[in-house]
Amino acid sequence: MASAFLPAGQFAITNSPFLIHNGWVPTANETLRRIPSVNQILHGLGAGPLLNQFPRHLVVEEVRHALDRLRDSIRRSDDPDRDLKSGLAALEPELGRSLRKRLRPSLRPVVNATGIILHTNLGRAPMAEETVQTMNHLSQGYSNLEYDLDQGTRGHRDRHLEEQFRRLLPCEAATAVNNNAAALYLVLSTLARGRKVLVSRGELVEIGGSFRVPSILEQSGASLKEVGTTNRTRVQDYRDALDGETALILRVHPSNFRVVGFSRRPALSELVALSREAGIPLLKDAGSGYLFRTSHPSLRSEPTVEEILKAGVDLVCFSGDKLLGGPQAGIVLGKRSLMEAVRKNPLARVCRLDKATFAGLQQTLTLYEQGVYLERLPIYRMLGTSTSSLESRARQIRRGLDPGAYRCRILDGFSLTGGGSAPEETIPTTLLALRPTAFSCNELGQRLRRGSRPVVARIEDDRVILDLRTVLPEEDEVLVQSLSQAASED
Ligand SMILES: *Cc1c(COP(=O)(O)O)cnc(C)c1O
C-alpha cells in the first residue's frame, strides 16, 4: 500500500502493530479506532504535493470531511478492515480531487448541445476569437477609454462606438449601456418620465421571464398608454391616443412569439409618418441587433437594424449579445439631439459599460466593417453549418464511443436561433440520439451536466439528444471524452 501520508511505517496498514492475523475478524468499532487522526494524516501528507498546492486550513477541513466519510462507510461496511485499507489508500487522490473542486470557480465553460444558438441561460452569443483577444489585451493595462489622445483632454467613452456605428449604419449618434433592458429603461426615463408612452396591446410582451415591457415602462416613471387590441392595432388607434401628455411612441419587436391569423399592426413606415406629423419621437426596441440582411432563411422574418433606421425611426435599441454576436450590452442608435439628452441622464452613469465590453463591441463591429463577420462570428458559423457536415461530425463522435455503453442513432431534427429571435423559424439539423445501455437517460443527462466539462443536452422520447450545431467543432473531442467518462462512472 503506497500512500504518501504514511511515512516511516507509522500507519501503513501492512506493518501496523494493530494488523489483524489468524482469521480474527475485527468489528466496525475496533476498525474505527484504528483510523489515523487528522494530525497524523497531515504529517503523512507533509512530503506530498497537496500541502504545497493548497492552503493548510483548507487541507485540514477536507481531511476532516474525508475522515468523516471514511467513518460512515466503515460503520455501514460488512468488511470494515478492507474498507479502512482501501479508504486510506484512496485518501490522497480523493483529497486532491475535493480540494481542486472546492477552488474551482462556479462559473465555468459548458458545451451547449441543445441546438439553441442564443441560449440566454448559457450566456447567449459565444464571441469571436478576435473579440476575446481584444478584450483581454485592453483589460490588462490602461486605455484611452475617456481620454482624447489628440487634445490631451477628457473624452467620452461613447465616442469609440459612435464613429463605427456611423460608418456602418444611417445613424447620427450611438450609446451603449449594460444590456437592452437598461437601454430601454434609460431612454424611457429620459424622454418620457411623468408622461405617456403609446404601445400597442400586441407588443406588451414578456421576454425571458424577467423582462416585461409594462414593468420597465412603469419603473422608468413613464405611464403606459395601451393602444389597439392584442391581435389588431391600426395607425388610427395611435392617432386617437395622442394628446398633450404623449412623450413617445414605442414599437417593440414581439421577439419570442407571433400572433397569427386575424391580426395586423401598422407598418413601421406608417408609424414614422405619424410620429413626424405629431412631432412625437418614435423608439423601436429591436431586440436582437440583427444589423444587416443575410441569406440565412431562419432570419428572414427578423427585421434588421439597417432597415429600421432607414425607415426613419428616431431611436432604436437592441442587445449586444444576440444576433450582433458581441458581449452583453444594450445599444441605442439614432438622432443626435435625443442621444445628448439620454447621455446627460444621471442613470446613464448607473448602467454604463466597462472598458472590456467597449473593446469587445468595437472589435465585433470591426468584423462587420471588414466584411468578415459571417465567417468570424461563431453564431453565424453555427447558423450556416450544413446538415451534411453536422452528420459527418455526429458519425465521427459515434465512432469514438463504446458501442457497449450507448445505443446511438443519427436523426433529423431542428435547431433554434433563440434569444427571442425568429421564434417560429426552425433550422433543419442532424442530431445524435443516445440511449445508455446501463442506466437511464435522465441519469446520463445529470452525469453530463456534472462532469468536469459540463455538457447541456436535451432529453426527448427517452433519448439524450445532442445537436452539434451549437457545439464548437473543437469541442467534439471533449464531447466524446465526457460521454466516455459518463459511461464509466458505474
Ligand atoms: C432580448 C430582448 C430584450 C432584453 O434584452 P437584454 O439585452 O437581455 O436586456 C428586450 N427587448 C426585446 C425585444 C428583446 O428581444
Closest CA to 196 of 221, 162, 159, 169: 221
Q: Whose CA is nearest to atom 13 of ligand 1?
A: 287
Looking at the fold, whether 176 and 292 belong to one and the same domain comes out as yes
| Ligand 1 cavity residues, CB under 6 Å | 179-181, 207, 211, 252-253, 255, 285, 287-288, 319, 330, 420
Q: What is the CATH number of the domain that holds 155?
A: 3.40.640.10
From first to last of its 490 residues, the chain has per-residue pLDDT tens of 344 444 333 444 444 444 454 556 678 888 999 999 999 999 988 878 899 999 999 999 999 999 999 999 999 999 999 999 999 999 999 999 999 989 999 999 999 999 999 999 999 999 999 999 999 999 999 999 999 999 999 999 999 999 999 999 999 999 999 999 999 999 999 999 999 999 999 998 887 657 889 999 999 999 999 999 988 999 999 999 999 999 999 999 987 666 777 788 999 999 999 999 999 999 999 999 999 999 999 999 899 999 999 999 999 999 999 999 999 999 999 999 999 999 999 999 999 999 999 999 999 999 999 999 999 999 999 999 999 999 999 999 999 999 999 999 999 999 999 877 666 789 999 999 999 999 999 999 999 999 989 999 999 999 999 999 999 999 999 999 999 999 998 6
Domain assignment present for residue 4? The answer is: no
C-beta separation of 66 from 91 below 8 A: yes
Residue type, 191: L
Domain assignment present for residue 122? The answer is: no
135: cell is: 478584450
Cα 202 to Cα 150, 198, 199, 230, 262: the distances in Å are 50, 12, 8, 4, 12
Domain assignment present for residue 2? The answer is: no
Looking from the CA of residue 286, the nearest atom of ligand 1 is 13
Q: Ligand 1: distance of its center to the CA of 95 in Å?
A: 44
Looking at the fold, whether 439 and 412 belong to one and the same domain comes out as yes
Looking from the CA of residue 255, the nearest atom of ligand 1 is 15
DSSP for 341-356, written as a single string:
HHHHSHHHHHTBPPHH
152: cell is: 490631451
Domain assignment present for residue 1? The answer is: no
Looking from the CA of residue 182, the nearest atom of ligand 1 is 9
196: cell is: 405617456
Termini Cα distance of the chain:
25
Of 320, 354, 372, the one marking the end of a domain is 372
**If DSSP codes are grouped into helix, strand and coil, which group holds residue 365?**
helix
CA distance 67 to 107: 29
C-beta separation of 421 from 300 below 8 A: no
CA distance 342 to 240: 28
Looking at the fold, whether 389 and 310 belong to one and the same domain comes out as no
Q: Whose CA is nearest to atom 2 of ligand 1?
A: 287
Q: What is the CATH number of the domain that holds 475?
A: 3.90.1150.180
Of 342, 372, 402, the one marking the end of a domain is 372
Domain assignment present for residue 211? The answer is: yes
Looking at the fold, whether 172 and 319 belong to one and the same domain comes out as yes
- In this structure, are strands 196-200 and 223-227 parallel, antiparallel, or unpaired? parallel
Query: How many domains would you assign to the chain?
Result: 3
Domain assignment present for residue 350? The answer is: yes
Looking from the CA of residue 211, the nearest atom of ligand 1 is 4
Q: Ligand 1: distance of its center to the CA of 450 in Å?
A: 30
Looking at the fold, whether 245 and 352 belong to one and the same domain comes out as yes
Looking at the fold, whether 159 and 81 belong to one and the same domain comes out as no
Q: Ligand 1: distance of its center to the CA of 145 in Å?
A: 26
Domain assignment present for residue 29? The answer is: yes
Of 332, 349, 372, the one marking the end of a domain is 372
Looking at the fold, whether 264 and 351 belong to one and the same domain comes out as yes
Q: Classify residue 254 by its DSSP letter.
A: -
Task: Supply the pLDDT for residue 425.
Answer: 82
Phi, psi torsion values for 351, nearest 5 degrees: -115, 30
Q: Ligand 1: distance of its center to the CA of 390 in Å?
A: 30
Looking at the fold, whether 195 and 66 belong to one and the same domain comes out as no
Looking from the CA of residue 285, the nearest atom of ligand 1 is 13
Pocket test residue of 205, 255, 331 for ligand 1, highest count of atoms within 8 A of CB: 255
Closest CA to 225 of 254, 203, 206, 197: 197
Looking at the fold, whether 360 and 401 belong to one and the same domain comes out as no
Residue type, 245: E
Looking at the fold, whether 83 and 160 belong to one and the same domain comes out as no
Looking at the fold, whether 257 and 144 belong to one and the same domain comes out as yes
C-beta separation of 158 from 343 below 8 A: yes
Give the domain range for residue 155: 127-372
Q: Classify residue 49 by its DSSP letter.
A: S
Looking at the fold, whether 45 and 192 belong to one and the same domain comes out as no
Domain assignment present for residue 80? The answer is: yes
